[in-house]
Structure 1
Amino acid sequence: MSETTTTERAPSVYVPSAEALATVLAPGARPRRPSALGASLTFGWRALLKIKHVPEQLFDVTAFPIIMVLMFTYLFGGALADSPRDYLQFFLPGIMVTSVVMITMYTGIGLNTDIEKGIFDRFRTLPVWRPAALVGMIFGDVLRYILAALVILGVGLALGFRPDGGVAGVAAGIGLLVVFSFAFSWVWTFFGLILRSEKSVMGVSMMVLFPLTFLSNVFVEPSTMPGWLQAFVKVNPVTQLVASVRAVMAGESDPSATMWLLAWSVGFVLVFGTLTMYKYNRR
């Protein structure tokens, strides 16, 4: 009986050369790294796309301002002025500031939500300027600020508000408001990084925003307040913002309030922008 011996060949393993891998994996030149501004604008576009896909996010910049204008004009207008229309001339720039400053807190809430979902962990691995995701988010929120201001202005014009400063005065007022809101948003980005949940961010935001907006010159002149309260109102950054916006919309100017407004804005960016970047890079 003969035995047949079968010899199996070991499978050959193909090991590509470095030149072959380079041809497949990198057929062209490596793309240039995007600039800091370009990356920030891209993330800003992402924020706008989120609004497109979830339009309910615009509720706070449309319905909320309309409710505020109607409620305060007809609820307090007759008691604080000769008529609701007369009170509207004084009140509308202030409620515009209040509404826009209040919605700045959603910057911190949105940031905290993205962090909890792990989205920002992915952003941090991208070969782009690291703060671009934060700066882009705030760029996207600027549109929300402008939209809220325009909604309030439109309602005010329909109710009888007539700015003596004309189109230029209104544009200047909205510009000052956007500058301050952009700077103030850095406060909430910092809180969005250090607090554990979006509910915590909202709670802290309300604790800060309510005293700042209501203990100001939004609703009444500070001269009608007790002396100890006037001391706080005069140094309140919202008071300086309202005074500046109210002046330019009336075709006048308030250099002192505008100077303090810009000083507060620079201070918010320097202090809370630096703290935000430090915390974000080490999170």
Structure 2
Amino acid sequence: MTTTAEVPRPAAKPALIVDCLGLTGRHLRLMARRPASIVGGIVLPVVFAVLFLTVFGRVMERAGLDYPQYMLPAIVVQAAFFAAMSGAVWAAEDASSGMVHRLRAMPISRPAPILSLLIGETVRAVIGGIVLIALGYGFGFRFETGVLGVLTFAGLVIVATAAICVPYLVLGYRLAEPEPAQALGGVIYFPLLLVSTLFVPKEAYPGWLQPIVEYQPLSCITEALRAVSTDGYTDVPATVGIALLWMVGSLIVFGVLAPRVFGKAS
């Protein structure tokens, strides 16, 4: 009696990874076909960088501030916010068009639709960040902290983009309408932008407002990027640690809310 040896089958990839890859590809293809996504993710941050560096650069240099070194991390964070607001619109479109219902009915991993949209927006923000850094080198920005600074900067940008995007995805799925999601996203963004150290140091604000300016999440993330890219910063571990607390807190809180809101989106 002869027996045939069983041919070992290759281990199947985890469903979550396969589903995320497939849906992320969908999001990236849709983004590539929509000019507004390219404008919002790459063109607008570049325009802001050129305007600020050319208009305010010399003024800030006279005040003793290396403005390209100070400004570029802020523009990178701003690009992450543009990606987050775009993510809110995509989430609202999926909810309003019935795509969320279709995804919930399909045999796919439950977190995959949210994670894939998050990954897609993070990829777009990272591409925009690379373009901004290349532009910043033309204006005088440099990574003064070596290879470790570059790697830490890149890691912080990725985590920060995810931490900023997750609340906006919750907003988009909750509202389920693109126009309100876009409008409310701007309402959240602009106060954080204006009362922060993105464009000017905290000393430019009234004394009573400076603690709020210094410790709000946008300022903490931007200061962490400056600390790991610019030589001479003191208390770099503390600066990065505070930023990480904000980012991890956002990922945990809104990461728990996102599947629940996705499950009720209609």
Provide the rounded CA distance (Å) in 1 between the counterparts of 2:151 and 2:105. 40
Q: Greater shift after overlay, 193-202 or 64-73?
A: 193-202
Task: Identify the residue that residue 145 of structure 1 maps to in structure 2.
Answer: 125
Listed as ranges, the gaps of 5+ residues in structure 2 are 1-11
Provide the rounded CA distance (Å) in 2 between the counterparts of 1:145 and 1:165. 23
Q: How much does 1:73 deviate? A: 1.1
Q: How much does 1:56 deviate? A: 4.6
Q: Find the partner of 2:87 among 86, 99, 107.
A: 107
Q: How much does 1:222 deviate? A: 0.7
Q: Find the partner of 1:271 among 238, 253, 264.
A: 253
Listed as ranges, the gaps of 5+ residues in structure 1 are 1-31
Provide the rounded CA distance (Å) in 1 between the counterparts of 2:106 and 2:226. 44
Q: How much does 1:140 deviate? A: 1.2
Task: Decide whether the 8 Å contact of 1:142 with 1:182 is kept in 2.
Answer: yes
State how 1:205-244 maps to structure 2 within 5 Å: 205-244=185-224
Task: Decide whether the 8 Å contact of 2:83 with 2:165 is kept in 1.
Answer: no
Task: Decide whether the 8 Å contact of 1:165 with 1:250 is kept in 2.
Answer: yes
| Root mean square deviation of aligned Cα | 2.2
Q: How much does 1:37 deviate? A: 2.5
Task: Identify the residue that residue 200 of structure 1 maps to in structure 2.
Answer: 180
Write out per-residue CA displacement over residues 124-165 of structure 1, whole angstroms, 9 at most, x where no aligned residue: 111111221111111111111111111111111112222212
> Would you say 1:40 and 2:23 are equivalent positions?
no
CA distance change for structure 1 residues 208 and 52 in 2, over 3 Å: closer, same or farther? Answer: closer
State how 1:65-144 maps to structure 2 within 5 Å: 65-82=45-62, 86-144=66-124
Task: Identify the residue that residue 228 of structure 2 maps to in structure 1.
Answer: 248
Q: Greater shift after overlay, 142-151 or 97-106?
A: 97-106
Q: Determine which structure has more spread, i.e. the larger CA radius of gyration.
A: 1
* TM-score after normalising by structure 1: 0.82
CA distance change for structure 1 residues 159 and 33 in 2, over 3 Å: closer, same or farther? Answer: closer
Write out per-residue CA displacement over residues 171-198 of structure 1, whole angstroms, 9 at most, x where no aligned residue: 3213202101102211011111221421
Write out per-residue CA displacement over residues 223-253 of structure 1, whole angstroms, 9 at most, x where no aligned residue: 2321121121122111111111001111456
Provide the rounded CA distance (Å) in 1 between the counterparts of 2:75 and 2:13. 43
* SS of equivalent to 2:62: coil
Task: Identify the residue that residue 7 of structure 1 maps to in structure 2.
Answer: none
* TM-score after normalising by structure 2: 0.87
Provide the rounded CA distance (Å) in 2 between the counterparts of 1:70 and 1:33. 45
Provide the rounded CA distance (Å) in 2 between the counterparts of 1:215 and 1:35. 43
List 4+ stretches of structure 1 deviating above 3 A. 52-56, 83-86
Matched AA of 1:282: K
Provide the rounded CA distance (Å) in 1 between the counterparts of 2:23 and 2:62. 48
State how 1:156-167 maps to structure 2 within 5 Å: 156-167=136-147
Provide the rounded CA distance (Å) in 2 between the counterparts of 1:80 and 1:225. 16
**How many residues are matched?**
252
Provide the rounded CA distance (Å) in 1 between the counterparts of 2:39 and 2:145. 29
Q: Greater shift after overlay, 253-262 or 66-75?
A: 253-262
Provide the rounded CA distance (Å) in 1 between the counterparts of 2:120 and 2:57. 35
Provide the rounded CA distance (Å) in 2 between the counterparts of 1:52 and 1:225. 40
Task: Decide whether the 8 Å contact of 1:60 with 1:103 is kept in 2.
Answer: yes
* SS of equivalent to 1:267: helix
Task: Decide whether the 8 Å contact of 1:108 with 1:188 is kept in 2.
Answer: yes
Q: How much does 1:84 deviate? A: 11
